[in-house]
Structure 1
Amino acid sequence: MTNDHILYLLQLASPALPVGAYSYSEGIEALVDIGTISNAQSLQHWLEQELRYGAIRLETAVMVRAYHAVQKKDSEALSYWNSWLSAARETEELRLSSWQMGRSLVKLLLQLQPQVWPLVETLEPCNYAIAFGMAAASWEIEPLLSVVLGYLHTWTTNLVTAGVKLIPLGQTAGQQLILNLFPNLMNAATAILALSDDDLCSCSWGLSLASMAHEIQYTRLFRS
């Protein structure tokens, strides 16, 4: 990667990016509430399984396809994968969070890179993975493996931060957990890049049940 590519990726993967990711727990709030996740070890186990089998693999694979579609200026493929990912979201909560974050990132991208408008004008609502892939391709960030790692690291950091607040954990424990997951991030990124369209699947019924439980949870700190 060039220095410019590194800086663009750091900005895109930054917690300071104004997309509202910090307000979502992706099921962790419900899992902490019922005791399935109660410490750093159980949170790490959950995230390891999500990286290996869960919806984040599917989401990241679609982000890769959005990246390629922008490179080819293929708005039809971009629209197809955006609709495909919306249909693949298991609950309304997960779908709405993806749309909200995607809308926020598209709004930012249009201010920073107005030339992408012809590609995004038909994407309403736009999923976050699609918007992330568009931004990465527009900024010509490469290699693609680094883009995938950036996306997965952002997801991991957001959920570890949610766990630190909910369980609760200390900040040092949270940082150690992220470091522990580095091999899982690399393995997931390599596997995702090798997926063909026919291999796009996930085992995320646990996430679905946890997400649905938020609707009847007595107290909540997060939007999901």
Structure 2
Amino acid sequence: MQTTALLHLLQLASPSLPIGGFSYSQGLETAIERGEVKDAETARVWISSYLNQVVAYFEAPMLWRLMRAFYEQDSDAVRYWSEVFLASRDTAEFRAETVQMGYSLAKLVAELAIADDEAMASLQQLVDIPLPTAMACAAVALQIPAEAVIHASLFTWVENQVLVCVKSVPLGQVAGQRLLLSMRDDIANASNLAMQLEDDALSNWAPGLSLLSMQHEVQYSRLYRS
């Protein structure tokens, strides 16, 4: 990868990116509250299962398709896959999360003036912009290789889940880093799978996760927004 593209990728994947990713647990907080995640071992099982059964089969393949749509300047494909992703958010919290983060990232892309007029028009045609759409637009505008974006986005997702566990289980900082390090093969395998799936193999079927998200909406005490 060119040095410039690598630096752009590091900026896009950074926890300091002002889109609010740190404020969401994606159902993990409720799993901790219910005792399903209570130590390093159960945390790894949760994160690995979520990554391999949900993210690798839907979120990451959607990002891959949206990047391809922006590379090809296909606004119809951008709209189609954005609408599919929004339709897949089956709880109020999951939908609000992707719309809020997508809006924040799209606004940042506009303020930094990194995308061309056609890419911005593809964003502006959408009533709600999901996070994968805004991320795809930014990555293509910065000329970051699509494969690297998939790897980085999955690492960022895993890192955020680990940080939730560090703060809320709680796990120690060293245990958190050990857990993150142990996920490297899972991330690589999930990334490779996501880039190979055909359209009819995509699936976000995770009813247990959806129920946890709904329970989180009415959870008495919580730190995270999902």
Residues 110-166 of structure 1 deviation map (CA, whole Å, 9 limit, x = unaligned): 112252322211122111011111111111111x22110011011111111111111
Instruction: Report SS of the residue matched to 1:223.
Output: coil
The answer to whether residue 3 in structure 2 is matched with residue 6 in structure 1 is: no
Contact 1:55 1:203 in 2 (8 A): no
Counterparts of 1:148-163 in structure 2, within 5 Å, are 148-163=150-165
2:212 aligned with 1:207: no
Q: Match of 1:193? A: 195
Aligned residue runs from structure 1 range 1-224, under 5 A: 1-55=1-55, 57-112=57-112, 113-115=114-116, 116-142=119-145, 144-224=146-226
Residue 203 of structure 1 deviates from its aligned partner by 3.3
Query: Mind listing any 5+ residue stretches in structure 1 that lack a counterpart?
Result: none
Secondary structure of 2:203's counterpart equals coil
The TM-score normalised by the length of structure 1 is 0.96
Offset at residue 45 of structure 1 (A)? 0.5
- Percent of matched pairs sharing the same residue: 38
**Aligned-pair CA distance for 1:187:** 0.3
CA 1:221–1:79: 2 relative to 1, 3 Å: same
Unaligned runs of 5+ in 2: none
Alpha-carbon RMSD: 1.1
Partner of 1:137, secondary structure, is helix
Kindly report structure 1 stretches of 4+ aligned residues shifted beyond 3 Å: none
The answer to whether the 8 A contact 2:101-2:131 is kept is: yes
Tell me whether 106-115 or 35-44 shows the greater mean CA deviation.
106-115
Indicate the SS of the match to 2:129: coil
Offset of residue 12 of structure 1:
0.5
Once the two structures are TM-superposed, the CA of residue 202 in structure 1 deviates from its matched residue by 3.1
Taking the aligned partners of 1:10 and 1:88, their CA distance within structure 2 comes to: 28
Task: Kindly indicate whether the alpha-carbon contact (under 8 Å) linking 2:102 and 2:129 is maintained by their aligned counterparts in 1.
Answer: yes
C-alpha contact (below 8 Å) 2:56/2:193 kept by paired residues: no
The answer to whether the Cα contact below 8 Å between 2:98 and 2:130 also exists between their aligned partners in 1 is yes
Contact 1:55–1:204 (Cα < 8 Å) also in 2: no
> Counterparts of 1:72 and 1:223 in 2: how far apart (Å)?
35
Q: 1:198 to 1:28 in 2, by over 3 A?
A: same
